Amino acid sequence: MFNPTEVEILKKCLSKLEKGFSLPGFENPADWAAVENILSQVAEKMHNNYPYFHPLYAGQMLKPPSPVARLAYALSLYINPNNHALDGSKASSPMEKEAVMQLAGMFGWKDQYLGHLTGGGTMANLEALWVAGKIHPGKKIIASELSHYTHQRISEVLGLPFGTVICDNSGRMEVTALEAELAKGDVGTVVVTLGTTGTGSVDPLAPILKLRNRYGFRVHVDAAYGGYFVLASNLSSEARSHFDVIDQADSIVIDPHKHGLQPYGCGCILFKDTRVGRFYKHDSPYTYFTEAELHLGEISLECSRAGAAAVALWATLKQFPVEKGGAMAEGMGRCHQASKNLYRHISQDDRFIPLFEPATDIVIWAPKAGSLSEVSERSQDIFRACAENDLHLALLNYPSRLLPAHWQHIEKDREYVTCLRSCLMKWEHIDWVDEIWTRLTAVL
């Protein structure tokens, strides 16, 4: 969890940072004894956490930041830049622009795009749907029934109608049902999720883009969780076919604080058409006054934003560039392979029943039983027992009508079934699948 080398590196770099300012000395008074006492209390209180940093935590979408991200973030806090205006972020705003350029390039947008970092995926999706409402005023936003719940909430905030489209038995938006909705003529934007947060499923972007040519709607890709899988070389041909056309989307959201090794919060919104910048136009004479260059606050709904997030992402991209065949791509491939390895264990064991093969790095399965009620009860028992054995999983309530054919022998006595769920999103997970499996089966 902690390596003393980190503190030594931070001390050296803080000394170098301080030498960059030729200013008279001054004292920043602090009661260091009180600081240490309070931090000691913080450390004790933080014991009341699951070990999110460890590979035996395979539950929710929690991934520790890389050491370079953690240290760059901490280093920048001694300056504490605000990436709203260049006046408060002369170094970190250019670093944000450079980092966002690399994220855009990862999706094939190398020349023209508009984008910036946000506090997270919710804010990034809000901006995408806000622009969508400006372009198609009053028209409906639709997403799959398994898309993130915030799309409906955001639509309500924006005063836009919202609807859902049913999914297939692999948790993906059903294209035929989508076209039936489009034929009504009131849809302005379709949210396509590449890596749903519940099951990791990849919506069929390729055929949806073909429908756009016929019906004239916007395509917003929510890749907050799954976006970095565009780099992986071992996806199924089905999933790969949709990631390969992501450059044809109108807008894309990705969260570097999920798979990008960043501290919370670090999201990113990207628009293909730079002309959407006109919707942000405003004046702020008390913040935009010393620089003629574009201030990031001029293309963002958020005002104050942590420059530290940009510094950490910039530093991480220096060590782990987002390029095919690089270390980040290899790491994403390891995550997907870990999920396939766990899925194989589950599929070959008569005591369990999987949902479907993972498209990204999320695995859903359940203990076999005669009815969905029994399955749900046993899933919760295993979840608790595993936690007592230092293996931390998650639970998912899944619609029974979407269960695949190999679940047909189980009595469907309820609308939802509670399943076990694992996010194998740490690069180290591939080396821990056997240990996870041993601890899982030990509680049966």
Domain residue limits, the chain: 86-319, 327-442
Residue 294 has pLDDT above 70, yes or no: no
Q: Which two tokens stand for residue 94?
A: 């250019």
For the chain, give the mean pLDDT.
Answer: 95
Q: Average pLDDT for residues 326-354, to the nearest whole number?
A: 98
The pLDDT confidence band at residue 26, using thresholds 50, 70 and 90, is confident
Residue 295's alpha-carbon distances to 83, 85, 118, 221, in angstroms, are: 8, 5, 14, 26
State which of 16-30, 59-73, 288-302 shows the largest mean pLDDT: 59-73
Query: Which has more pLDDT, 29 or 165?
Result: 165
Share of the chain above pLDDT 90, in %: 90
Mean pLDDT of 228-250: 98
Q: Give yes or no for residue 289 having a pLDDT over 80.
A: no
pLDDT tier for residue 85 given thresholds of 50, 70 and 90: confident
Q: What is the CA radius of gyration of the chain?
A: 23
Lowest mean pLDDT among 262-266, 273-277, 338-342: 273-277
pLDDT at 287 over 50: no
Check pLDDT > 80 for residue 219: yes
Are the C-beta atoms of 359 and 235 separated by less than 8 Å? yes
Q: What pLDDT is recorded for position 291?
A: 46
- Can you give the pLDDT at residue 25? 82
Residue written as tokens 């004894």?
Answer: 33
Average pLDDT over residues 195-221: 97
348-356 long-range Cβ contacts below 8 angstroms, 24+ apart: 349/441, 351/441, 351/444, 353/406, 353/407, 353/410, 355/171, 355/199, 355/398, 355/403, 355/404, 355/419, 356/169, 356/170, 356/171, 356/199, 356/404
The superfamily (CATH) of domain 327-442 is Aspartate Aminotransferase, domain 1 (3.90.1150.10)
> 372 near 381, Cβ under 8 Å?
no
Domains 86-319 and 327-442 share a fold: no
Is pLDDT above 80 for 201? Answer: yes
Quick one: average pLDDT of 405-417? Answer: 97
pLDDT over 70, % of the chain? 97
Q: What is the mean pLDDT of residues 246-274?
A: 97
Mean pLDDT, residues 15-22 = 92
Angle at the Cα of 436 from the Cα atoms of 432 and 439, rounded to 5 degrees:
140
pTM for the structure as a whole? 0.95
* 167 bridge partner residues: 173
Identity at 75, one-letter amino acid code: L
Taking only the tens place, the pLDDT of each residue in 362-372 is: 999 999 999 99
Tell me what pLDDT residue 283 has.
Answer: 54
Q: What's 86-319's CATH class?
A: alpha beta
